[in-house]
């Protein structure tokens, strides 16, 4: 039986952005306590709190054409959990300065847990920077860094108020062995193990450190380069996952 797509104690939180006529998505995960219910009411409560954190902290770094349109909540503890999108009004950026191009430019925040290894670290690419955030040389100013860290801290507080904890999710994987078989001219064969993958259980671990490693403006390396429909007409086939 293949590894399960579910993750124990995990709910998914998506931030759906409109970047003018483009769309972007941050995919976050949270540790959920036993008995936590994923429904429209919890999505509305969490969405309102996260949008409030956005307005206070990250909106001043975003042009007025940028908006956090929806916050989605999905139960990863069960297969094929329904995603509930908050029903509150979109929260728009408040900076009149032109948007920094190309549209896939973003400020990177690193999430760390108590464990080492890439499956225990996360990244959040915060979109919608204005030209005022760029101080030259491909770097953002320190105000941008402060705002980004404060926004993620605000998301953590919003989750805490809903009994959730920001975390990094690791999907499960089956054990696998890749073997190269060479058939010689005399008919004999030789096997060589190319690589071996151990099975891994799906899990989520709480974030212990929210970090800005440098001031460099990063880009999201995706096939559509950050372009896609805005969340009001979202098409899962063309959405951009930026975290």
200-215 residue pLDDT tens: 789 999 999 999 999 9
pTM: 0.84
If you average pLDDT over residues 173-197, what whole number do you get?
Answer: 91
Residue 147 class from Cβ within 10 Å (0-12 exposed, 13-18 middle, 19+ buried)? buried
5-16 residue pLDDT tens: 899 999 999 999
pLDDT above 70 for 243: no
Band of pLDDT at residue 239, cut at 50, 70 and 90 = very low
Considering only 125-129, 174-178, 219-223, which range has the smallest mean pLDDT?
219-223
CA 33 to chain centre: 21
Contacts of 23 (CB under 8 A, 6+ apart): 16, 17, 228, 229, 230, 231, 234, 239, 240
- Tell me 237's DSSP state: T
Q: Check residue 30 and give its pLDDT.
A: 98
- Tell me 124's DSSP state: E
């Amino acid at each position: 039986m293949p590894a399960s797509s579910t993750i124990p104690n995990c709910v998914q939180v998506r931030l759906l952005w409109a970047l003018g006529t483009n769309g972007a998505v941050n995919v976050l995960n949270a540790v959920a306590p036993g008995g936590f219910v994923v429904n429209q009411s919890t999505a509305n409560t969490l969405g309102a709190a996260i949008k409030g954190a956005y307005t206070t902290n990250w909106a001043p770094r975003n042009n007025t054409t940028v908006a956090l349109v929806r916050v989605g909540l999905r139960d990863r503890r069960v297969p094929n959990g329904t995603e509930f999108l908050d029903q509150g009004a979109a929260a728009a950026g408040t900076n009149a300065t032109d948007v920094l191009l190309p549209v896939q430019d973003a400020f990177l925040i690193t999430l760390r847990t108590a464990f080492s290894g890439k499956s225990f670290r996360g990244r959040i690419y915060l979109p919608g920077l204005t030209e005022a955030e760029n101080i030259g040389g491909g770097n953002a100013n320190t105000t941008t860094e402060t705002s980004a860290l404060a926004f993620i801290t605000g998301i953590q507080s919003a989750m805490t108020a809903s009994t959730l904890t920001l975390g990094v999710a690791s999907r499960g994987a089956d054990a696998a062995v890749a073997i190269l078989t060479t058939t010689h001219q005399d008919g004999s064969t030789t096997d060589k193990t190319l690589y071996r993958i151990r099975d891994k259980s799906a899990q989520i671990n709480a974030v212990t450190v929210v970090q800005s490693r440098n001031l460099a403006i990063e880009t999201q390396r995706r096939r559509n380069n950050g372009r896609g429909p805005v969340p009001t007409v979202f098409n899962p086939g063309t959405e951009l996952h930026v975290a």
